[in-house]
Structure 1
Amino acid sequence: MTSFTFKEQSVTLPEKKIKKGDKAPDFKVLDNKLNEVTLSKYNGCIKLISVVPSLDTGVCNDQTRRFNEDANELENVEVLTISMDLPFAQKRWCGNSGIDDVITLSDHRYASFGEAYGVLMEEMRLLCRAVFVVDSNDEVVYTEYVQEATDHPDYDGALEAARSAA
């Protein structure tokens, strides 16, 4: 069993982890207008799903900005950033940060994404840092669960997987 930490403190994640080749689980999250969104909204598109604990922290800020910079170079790819931040906070953060190529989604109401993808940190009800790439047929083609939530993911690996999934 892999150990996951947040600021070097052990955290408990759901047992189930998504693997390459799995069918992407459905989820229910909120967009910045409080509309419910599920995986099916992005049918036919490749999804690069960037998971962060909170947009208002350094590494999460960097991660979201990095994927935003590369998003417009990816064909038929929707870049989704999912966190437990409230939709209002996500919208404000995007506006203040000039983020317009990444779609921010909130898992705060249901924790549906966190449970389905095995990223919900039980002790603090935040999502651990992870990246998933899901192809246009909803097959998972890339997964990365970052063991220490304050570390950066492998940006290049995720971007290459998204480009290859086309």
Structure 2
Amino acid sequence: MKRTFGGTPVTIEGEEVKVGEMAPEFKAINNDLSVYDSKEDRGKIVVYSVIPSVDTPVCNIQTRTFNEKVGELGDGVKVVTISVDLPFAQQRYCAAAGIDNIATVSDYNGHDFGRKYGFLMKENMLLARGIIIVDKDGKITYTEYVPESGDAVDFDKAFEEIKKLA
């Protein structure tokens, strides 16, 4: 799939993951600078909400929407928003925006998630926009790779898939 950022084509590092595959394990950085290890979320339905930066309007909408709706998804669902924003910026954003129902993690240090899931844009080292849903057994059940990073994800399709699993 061709992807763009601001209308300009970008090169994606890594391969897109596919429905039915086991979700690759990865590490990122929590807002308190501790290590986030994806394998710790096994046994839960995990939604990876992937954004370029919390400081942009579309990313703000995506993050706020998941934060608001997560309560409707059930106790066994965890939403993890991933960007390459520094943990300090994510923490500041979450405090200012009242984001307290979802986790935010940073992929800035090594880009482990971006490369393993096919989201890292080589030209600007940001993550492209999308959603990955992983079931309790660690299998990918839904993917959305948005062709233009400035466009919104399809919330209806994502929530439909989550409700099937929850």
TM-score above 0.5: yes
Is residue 58 of structure 2 the alignment partner of residue 59 of structure 1? yes
Shift of 1:37: 1.1
CA distance in 1, matches of 2:137, 2:109: 27
Shift of 1:102: 1.2
Q: Which residue of 2 aligns with 1:78?
A: 78
Query: What do you get for the CA RMSD once the two structures are aligned?
Result: 0.7
Instruction: Note the 1:6-25 alignment, pairs <5 A.
Output: 6-25=5-24
Consecutive unaligned residues of structure 1, counting only runs of 5 or more, are none
CA distance in 2, matches of 1:106, 1:150: 19
Instruction: Note the 1:77-116 alignment, pairs <5 A.
Output: 77-116=77-116
Letter in 1 for 2:156: D
Consecutive unaligned residues of structure 2, counting only runs of 5 or more, are none
Q: Which residue of 2 aligns with 1:4?
A: 3
Q: Which residue of 1 aligns with 2:128?
A: 128
CA distance in 2, matches of 1:83, 1:15: 16
Instruction: Note the 1:147-162 alignment, pairs <5 A.
Output: 147-162=147-162
CA distance in 1, matches of 2:88, 2:40: 21
Shift of 1:15: 4.7
Letter in 2 for 1:37: Y
Q: Which residue of 2 aligns with 1:30?
A: 29
User: Which stretch shifts more, 128-137 or 8-17?
Assistant: 8-17
Name the SS for the 1:73 alignment partner: helix
Contact 2:14–2:114 under 8 Å retained in 1: no
Name the SS for the 1:18 alignment partner: coil
User: Which stretch shifts more, 37-46 or 124-133?
Assistant: 37-46
CA distance in 2, matches of 1:52, 1:146: 10
CA distance in 2, matches of 1:152, 1:128: 11
Letter in 2 for 1:146: V
Moved over 4 A (4+): none
Name the SS for the 1:72 alignment partner: helix
Shift of 1:28: 0.7
CA distance in 2, matches of 1:160, 1:14: 29
User: Which stretch shifts more, 44-53 or 155-164?
Assistant: 155-164
Identity of aligned residues (%): 45
Name the SS for the 2:66 alignment partner: helix
Using the size of structure 2 for normalisation, the TM-score is: 0.97
Letter in 2 for 1:163: K
Shift of 1:30: 0.4
Contact 2:26–2:113 under 8 Å retained in 1: yes
Name the SS for the 1:67 alignment partner: helix
Aligned length in residues:
165
CA distance in 2, matches of 1:165, 1:16: 25
